[in-house]
Amino acid sequence: MIFDYSGKSVLVTGAGRGLGFAIAQAFHAAGATVFLNDRTAEQVDAAIAKAGGGKHLIPAPADLATAQGAALALAPALHHGRLDILVNNAAVNIEKPIEETDDAHWDLHLAVVLKAAFFTTRTALPLLTQSQGSVVNIASELGLQAIADNIAYVSAKHGLIAMTRSMALELAPLNIRLNALCPGTMDTELMQDCAKASGDPDGYYRRFRQYHPLGRLATPQEIAAFVLCLASPAAAFMTGSAVAIDGGSSAGRM
Amino acid sequence: MALLSGKRVLVTGSTRGIGRATAELFLAKGAEVILHGRNRSDVDRTIEELGHRDRIAGLTADLARRSETKRLAAEAGEIDILVNCAGIYIEKSIIDSDEAFFDRTIEINLTAGFLLSRSLLPSLRQRQGVIVNVSSDAGLVGYGGSSAYAASKGAVIGLTKALAVELAPDVRALCICPGPVATDMMENAVKATSDPEAARRQWANFPLLGRVAHPSEIAEAIVFAASPAASFATGSIITIDGGTTAGKRV
């Protein structure tokens, strides 16, 4: 184990599956108490069972697209009395051309990606101030560049990176660090959903493998490992950064 | 013939500041300009001041209200150039930024521009049009005490790139990122601080050039981006910030 998180507590939003689940698992394996957030108690309970259960995996269900979401997600950590790390990972990513991006679709992406990260962080501030903690915002390489048919997601992720920088400056005097991680495409349930929705799953996977110069998709585990690094003392001098871990997709064109 | 004669342009937030200077320059280049403001009296006064009565019209809408944004798009009709300039900037700490404030910032600075772009796409596509969004250097580098604003302006940069990728080659989309500009918006932010004089000095010292911009210096970049002179530029994120994003003095 590279990082030791014994005695630390971590809230991971969107931890029911995919990258969020991998992040929760990695922190748990490193000794942390992990609060797992996702939209419903059923999703969270299933994730906790899948991760092996135990007293260090605590449910924190809440729909972060709603106004009360952040307070509900933070309630177990407040009760526990300690939060060292917040990982704003919850996201929604449904591809649509501009003309089909209706108000509800636009609003949902902004609410879950951008607004939820802002208010979860804001609500966590008293605990993070106490612990001189760290926030990792899961952005995307689509927070650095755009692709077609994903305007709501691309806009929200760009906003998340800019927001991370400004919040990092404001909270630096409190020694609270914020960084954004910009993963490339991972082979997760979300990817499978997108592939299915495209009508040509094999072609979709092929296109996204080729999109990354390394010629493959990332595993959630290799992205999660980076989250543990950013939240650790190894990154104690790092704040306001946006780090791409994207197989080279934002480096340029092949 | 003037550079932009025959082009129909909608400039949001054009009764003051950067938007007004942009409308003025478009008029000087021969374009037909639709002004936009929140109040009829401001719009009428601006029309009065800018002249060119044969090529100017004015519409009102509160862009914090979605129904009004959509009505503005409908009333604007067919256009060649959309300049999303309307914006709000209020300094607020994270703790003081409540949900209503966050939502309002996102709605006016970001969502209104998306909605107008989406609504006006048919004519923009047909006329090989241009969308110019006004973001901010705060969309590229952090500003402590303006996280909601930064979120909205960073997202405008993403919005611009997404528009550029998806609408090419029919429509160009570009983004101008001003640094501090001498506008009412900035003056209000300065006045809201406990020591306005110090705040004014601080803003002036922030750009490497040691001063804030005049609105016309931003308008020049907006009109250039929208003009045929920039015909190969799309998805461009153009900083006109006196050097704020290049670096800072130690």
**Which chain A residues have a beta carbon less than 8 Å from that of B93?**
170
Domain that holds residue A103: 9-183+218-244
N- to C-terminal Cα separation, chain B: 49
Q: Decide if A204 is catalytic.
A: no
Q: Across all residues in chain B, what is the average pLDDT?
A: 96
Counting Cα atoms < 13 Å in the Cβ hemisphere of A133 gives: 23
The pLDDT tens digits for B12-52 are 999 999 999 999 999 999 999 999 999 999 999 999 999 99
Residue B60's pLDDT is 98
Q: Which residue of B has its CA nearest to A101?
A: B118
Reported as a single tens digit per residue, the pLDDT across A110-158 is: 999 999 999 999 999 999 999 999 999 999 999 999 999 999 999 999 9
**Predicted local distance difference test score (pLDDT) of residue A165:** 98
Quick check: ipTM above 0.90? yes
Contact B93/A at CB under 8 A: yes
DSSP 8-state secondary structure symbol assigned to residue B180: S
Domains of chain B (ranges; CATH) run 8-240 (3.40.50.720)
Kindly report the CATH number assigned to the domain that includes residue A160. Answer: 3.40.50.720
| Residue A233 to residue A237: CA distance in whole angstroms | 8
- A211 domain-assigned: no
Which residues of chain A have a CB within 8 Å of the CB of B169? Answer: none
Within the 105-124 window of chain B, which residues sit less than 8 Å (CB to CB) from chain A?
106, 110-111, 114-115, 117-118, 121
The answer to whether the CB of A179 falls within 8 A of the CB of B155 is no
Mean pLDDT of B160-178: 98
Q: CB of B235 within 8 Å of any CB in chain A? A: yes
Q: Does A155 sit within 8 Å of B162, measured CB to CB? A: yes
* Measured distance CA(B166)–CA(A201) in Å, rounded: 21
- From A103, A143, A167, residue closest to B147, measured CB to CB: A167
Looking at the structure of chain A, the number of domains it has is 1
In a domain, A23, yes or no: yes
Residue A254: per-residue pLDDT: 78
The verdict on a CB contact (< 8 Å) between B162 and A119 is no
DSSP annotation string for A178-218: EEEEEE--B-SHHHHHHHHHHT-HHHHHHHHHHHSTTSSPB
pLDDT band at B56 (very low <50, low <70, confident <90, very high): very high
Answer whether residue B250 shows pLDDT above 90: no
Shortest Cα distance, chain A CAs vs residue B99, angstroms = 8
Q: Is A145 on the interface with B (CB under 8 A)?
A: yes
Closest residue of chain A to B166, computed from CA coordinates: A148
Interface test with B, best of A119, A165, A182 (most B CBs within 10 A): A165
Burial of A101 (0-12, 13-18, 19+ CB in 10 A): buried
Q: With respect to residue A145, please indicate whether it lies within any of the assigned structural domains.
A: yes
In this predicted structure, what is the pLDDT of residue B1? Answer: 55
Residue A249 located in a structural domain: no
Nearest CA in chain B to A123: B95
Task: Give the chain B residue whose CA is nearest to the CA of A149.
Answer: B166
A121 φ/ψ sector (left φ>0, alpha ψ -120 to 50, else beta): alpha
Mean local confidence (pLDDT), B196-203: 92
Q: Which residues of chain A have pLDDT under 50?
A: none
Query: Which pLDDT does position A2 carry in this prediction?
Result: 82
B163–A160 C-beta distance less than 8 A: no
Domain assignment of residue A200, yes or no:
no
A202 inside domain? no
Helix (H) or strand (E) holding B3: none
